[in-house]
């Protein structure tokens, strides 16, 4: 049975600051209502439990896209909004949004250069970037903002180095990323959409120029490798390289920064758990998994139903319906995690849904984990670190992160 979700009844309101400050009690009430809840404001079915979300992530009868199998008319959709053509172009070949066979081919080519070994080789540089940026952030006495002072410039420095983007261009990429990701929210104004489209246009032009430079003068960087990679006669097209570079920056940067902010807020809000990390009882790599589970940077991920008679959570779905997998709720499901609302730095359960799953499992997960581990390894050297002021979450639901995180070692 599907329950129609009336927001006022349980408190689910993605635009309510009180909900955004702490959505997890609301998720608990939603799970109690049932595994599948219909949310009419978006015409989407919400999956609330871990088992159903995990199954949906791996069900090939669901897809991020549908045009590889249906026309817009057949699917009952109007298609991309022509007003935002540059944003649509930046998404056309994104690994997040395409399905097999295109996804299989593109991911195979990207994986040839974005390997676990190549990411692991970045550890010394990542450690160096982290130490340098934290020193800058804390050089003056008084509180510092972990988000703008450390996490954002650190993450951008890493991704710029990986891609082969000049470090001085990092702030521009950061601005473009912040504008573009607003398009993934439940409620986006036309002003925000316009900003996202202009950012996508500028980003596309920028990557085109970089690709042209690398074709003339290859370097030891990811863009050069993407230009030259080949497998079984396949090569990446110009548009595919552009979309890959954009998604690697946007998805990788936003997830890393927000996980660190949300996770450090959690750790410092649980002093006993912070003590376990600073004392060495819990290693940074272990604590990172709980940071990802307890307050994940991506709260929800949507899929289209591509075939009839798909059964999830006891409901039978039909072609053209849309589901939303609620990662934040799934990661607090008591049927999967013992005492799920307790932040346990030593839990060490890496099977949470922090990086998705199935064929769309985040290709940047090893890099994100490495950046987070390096950051936490540095921060734990300051055991007296504490919150300088109450943190406030950004007014967005799907991508969850803090406006700032002011920290101090005073007192």
Query: What pLDDT is recorded for position 262?
Result: 98
Domain tally, the chain: 1
Query: What pLDDT is recorded for position 119?
Result: 86
Query: What pLDDT is recorded for position 351?
Result: 93
Calpha distance 10→301 (Å, rounded): 21
Query: What pLDDT is recorded for position 304?
Result: 96
Query: What pLDDT is recorded for position 6?
Result: 74
The CATH number given to whatever domain includes residue 221 is 1.10.630.10
Cα atoms in the Cβ-side hemisphere of radius 13 Å centred on 97: 17
Query: Which has the closest alpha carbon to 68: 87, 205, 60, 27?
Result: 60
Calpha distance 207→221 (Å, rounded): 14
> What is the chain's length?
411
State phi, psi for 144 to the nearest 5 degrees. -135, 155
Calpha distance 397→187 (Å, rounded): 9
**Tell me, what DSSP letter sits at residue 38?**
E
Question: Is there a contact between 129 and 158 (Cβ–Cβ < 8 Å)?
Answer: yes
Query: Which has the closest alpha carbon to 50: 360, 336, 356, 324?
Result: 336
Find the Cα–Cα–Cα–Cα dihedral 131, 136, 141, 142, rounded to 10°.
-90
Calpha distance 116→14 (Å, rounded): 36
Q: Beta-strand (E) ranges in 256-352?
A: 300-305, 310-312, 315-317, 322-326
Query: What pLDDT is recorded for position 87?
Result: 94
Angle between helix axes 238-269 and 152-163 (nearest 10 degrees) is 150
In the chain (411 residues long), the average pLDDT of successive 10-residue segments reads: 74 93 96 94 95 96 92 88 93 90 88 83 94 93 94 92 88 91 90 96 95 91 86 83 89 88 98 97 98 96 96 96 97 98 96 89 89 97 94 94 92 51
Calpha distance 402→19 (Å, rounded): 14
The domain in which residue 176 lies consists of: 3-408
Q: The whole model's pTM is what?
A: 0.93
């Amino acid at each position: 049975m599907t329950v129609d979700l009336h927001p006022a009844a349980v408190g689910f309101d993605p635009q309510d600051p009180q909900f955004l400050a702490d959505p997890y009690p609301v998720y608990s009430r939603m799970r109690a209502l049932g595994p599948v809840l219909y949310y009419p404001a978006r015409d989407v079915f919400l999956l609330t439990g871990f088992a159903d979300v995990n199954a949906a992530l791996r069900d090939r009868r669901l897809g991020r896209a549908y045009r590889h199998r249906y026309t817009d008319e057949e699917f009952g959709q109007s298609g991309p909004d022509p007003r935002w053509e540059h944003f649509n172009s930046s998404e056309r070949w994104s690994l997040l949004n395409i399905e097999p066979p295109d996804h299989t081919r593109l991911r195979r080519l990207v994986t040839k250069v974005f390997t676990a070994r190549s990411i692991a080789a970045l550890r010394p540089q990542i450690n160096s970037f982290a130490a340098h940026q934290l020193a800058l952030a804390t050089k003056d006495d008084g509180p510092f903002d972990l988000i703008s002072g450390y996490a954002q410039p650190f993450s951008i420095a890493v991704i710029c180095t990986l891609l082969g983007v000049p470090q001085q261009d990092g702030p521009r990429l950061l601005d473009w990323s912040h504008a573009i990701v607003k398009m993934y929210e439940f409620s986006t104004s036309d002003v925000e959409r316009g900003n996202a489209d202009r950012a996508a246009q500028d980003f596309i032009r920028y990557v085109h120029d970089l690709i042209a430079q690398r074709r003339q003068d290859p370097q030891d960087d990811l863009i050069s490798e993407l230009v030259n990679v080949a497998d079984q006669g396949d090569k990446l097209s110009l548009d595919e390289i552009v979309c890959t570079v954009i998604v690697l920056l946007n998805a990788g940067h936003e997830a890393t920064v927000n996980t660190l902010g949300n996770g450090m807020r959690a750790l410092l809000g649980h002093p006993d758990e912070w003590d376990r990390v600073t004392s060495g009882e819990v290693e940074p790599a272990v604590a990172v998994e709980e940071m990802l589970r307890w307050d994940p940077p991506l709260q929800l991920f949507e899929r289209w139903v591509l075939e009839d008679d798909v059964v999830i959570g006891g409901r039978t779905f039909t072609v053209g319906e849309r589901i939303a997998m609620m990662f934040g709720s799934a990661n607090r499901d008591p049927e999967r995690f013992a005492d799920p609302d307790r932040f346990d730095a030593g839990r060490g359960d890496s099977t949470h849904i922090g990086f998705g799953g199935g064929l769309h499992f985040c290709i940047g997960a090893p890099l994100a984990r490495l950046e987070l581990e390096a950051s936490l390894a540095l921060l734990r050297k300051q055991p007296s670190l504490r919150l300088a002021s109450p943190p406030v979450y950004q007014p967005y639901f799907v991508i969850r992160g803090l406006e700032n995180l002011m920290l101090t070692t005073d007192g």
